[in-house]
Structure 1
């Protein structure tokens, strides 16, 4: 088995400015929206301009994911190589930006080893990179064929990672071969989890996200997204299937655990079943720009859908969930701060910056 490659280079961005006409937004404190979205105890006011920046100096393409570090800073990854990483404070002020080579910057996870925060960046061009929070690259995991996990011709386009309590790394190959790949913290390949793409209980239709669920009895589990199947699937940390959490209508991205609840961005929604990517089927009933946020309690029950229809159960079965208000386009991730405010990242949303939802 090969260990992952250690790198001593830095990803700190240098000069490089793109001029984009008609946008030069200066920071000012946004006013509270008069409208409140969400359901039950999870309702929010919208700060749509919270994350807006000067596009001539810090442009974005897609705002993919965001995490909060131990200092309370909000760190976002995107795929604009002028600044893959944007670091905000809670007011929306930009504190730092870096990253000039992650053309497929997509997944962002944070892990603290007890003394320091580290970032794990998934680049869908075929690598996972561990960095410090100021952009110094520490290690890289490349194509799984280097570790005996794949054949060379097998696609590898990682979308997300999660770090277990012991430091083991789980990589979701969501746009590639649809396996979860487990490595030790030192880079030794451990196993492939799941049966690849398919409809079996241990298979995935776009394994877009993965997280460690530490809620419950003290036995952490994996929650893995099967986006086109509108569900999360739970596995043991050594790869055994446990259960499916069905979310009809909702094409969910990664699961995010905060306290007792699970949050997720819904990239789009539909009242019909179809293969992900086939948006031409039933165009009057399927919209690309139909995202919202969904929130589940500890038991796996949906309790709120900010921007979406009210969660409804009939005879214990969750009914199809759809966008109800055109606030979001493609919700790609949700970050929760320690005041339980939400920060929503969007994909393919006209280069929109993150939106803040203030808990009320």
Structure 2
């Protein structure tokens, strides 16, 4: 090789190296808020309920559409996904199933928390719970953010004492339109109202009795039994769901050892729930933990995406734990019409929802 040829080869090599170095020095911009493990094609879950994780599915520009805690999400009959956050720049964020932002609205719910879909004829409504101490509220809204009905504060109608805590976290709507309000962060009652907002009764309260609650965080109506609907209520501190009649009579308990569950979400014959904390063996509420738990119609756990495989010994469910560090405080599960899941998280670094694609 000639001296000239050697010089040109070296010059080209140095130019290419400079280009690579320059490219490496260009900052990479991303709207990911927290660092999450990259799973690639790894699947999570067990049995017939396995999922591929899409961690950046719901990521938006935090400068224009910020979130604080992504509390709950539902899919309306129009196919759109509605999510509530406690960032008052945009309390409700509307996605399509690809993760595209369609709309956002709401600036008044300082602790926007519960989001329940109610179907009335051809129209869908959203029930929003805000447990904020300044103005705890339960409000019925249209899908575009117009207020339709506001339930009374139980302290103003003689149902609670004036100094009782009232911090509603969730609602459920019964077959006749009656509304059940879980006072999950307050005095631990489930309050029952008529469809027009008249108080009917309360049941539960704080305690360790079968009919009492330790953080009645969620509530839903269960239509899966042919004998008639019942009410499923979360008792998160008890690691349990408790079943009641629609008139508030206690029926039974589903124990979920190790799982600090949030609200029960029923789709077809299957029950889903976010686990807000896991345990670390015998310790309580391990920080920055959580997974998803899935139960069949008989109340048996069949899959724990992000958690340990469910095990039964003599028909008793054994301790369930976080298995993979994917989630931080799973607060809700939304099931879409393709059986994919969307996981909302609390206290997770202002992260957007994660999609679990059913496989």
After TM superposition, the score normalised by the length of structure 1 is 0.87
State the secondary structure of the residue aligned to 1:65.
strand
Residues 228-267 of structure 1: matches in 2 within 5 Å?
228-267=237-276
State the secondary structure of the residue aligned to 1:325.
coil
* 2:152 and 2:197 in contact (8 A); partners too: no
Give me the CA root mean square deviation: 1.6
1:10 paired residue number:
none
Structure 2: runs of 5 or more not aligned: 1-27, 33-37
- Aligned equivalents of 2:338 and 2:348: distance in 1? 26
State the secondary structure of the residue aligned to 1:190.
strand
2:31 paired residue number:
25
1:332 aligns with 2:331: yes
Greater shift after overlay, 136-145 or 224-233? 136-145
- Aligned equivalents of 2:207 and 2:344: distance in 1? 28
* 1:34 and 1:45 in contact (8 A); partners too: yes
- Aligned equivalents of 1:73 and 1:115: distance in 2? 15
2:215 paired residue number:
206
- Aligned equivalents of 1:272 and 1:287: distance in 2? 9
1:156 paired residue number:
166
1:352 aligns with 2:351: yes
1:279 paired residue number:
none
Of residues 98, 102, 113, the one that matches 1:95 is: 102
- Aligned equivalents of 2:29 and 2:346: distance in 1? 19
- Aligned equivalents of 1:286 and 1:301: distance in 2? 23
Query: How far apart are 1:151 and its partner, in Å?
Result: 1.1
* 1:290 and 1:322 in contact (8 A); partners too: no
Query: How far apart are 1:286 and its partner, in Å?
Result: 5.0
The structure with the largest helix share of the pair is: 2
2:179 paired residue number:
169
Query: How far apart are 1:338 and its partner, in Å?
Result: 1.1
Kindly tell me: are residues 248 and 32 of structure 1, through their superposed partners in 2, closer, same or farther at Cα, counting changes over 3 Å? closer
- Aligned equivalents of 2:268 and 2:39: distance in 1? 26
Query: How far apart are 1:290 and its partner, in Å?
Result: 1.3
* 2:281 and 2:321 in contact (8 A); partners too: no
* 2:114 and 2:128 in contact (8 A); partners too: yes
- Aligned equivalents of 1:198 and 1:209: distance in 2? 16
Render the CA deviation track for 1:52-109: whole Å, top value 9, x for unaligned.
Answer: 0011100000000000001111100010000010000000001000010100100000
State the secondary structure of the residue aligned to 1:105.
coil
Render the CA deviation track for 1:293-344: whole Å, top value 9, x for unaligned.
Answer: 0000000000000000000001110000000000001000000011110000
- Aligned equivalents of 1:133 and 1:286: distance in 2? 35
Of residues 112, 115, 136, the one that matches 2:122 is: 115
* 1:50 and 1:356 in contact (8 A); partners too: yes
1:82 paired residue number:
89
* 1:23 and 1:56 in contact (8 A); partners too: no
State the secondary structure of the residue aligned to 2:155.
helix
Render the CA deviation track for 1:17-37: whole Å, top value 9, x for unaligned.
Answer: xxxxx97639xxxx9931100
* 1:63 and 1:353 in contact (8 A); partners too: yes
Greater C-alpha Rg: 2
* 1:23 and 1:55 in contact (8 A); partners too: no
* 2:280 and 2:286 in contact (8 A); partners too: no
2:80 paired residue number:
73
* 1:268 and 1:289 in contact (8 A); partners too: yes
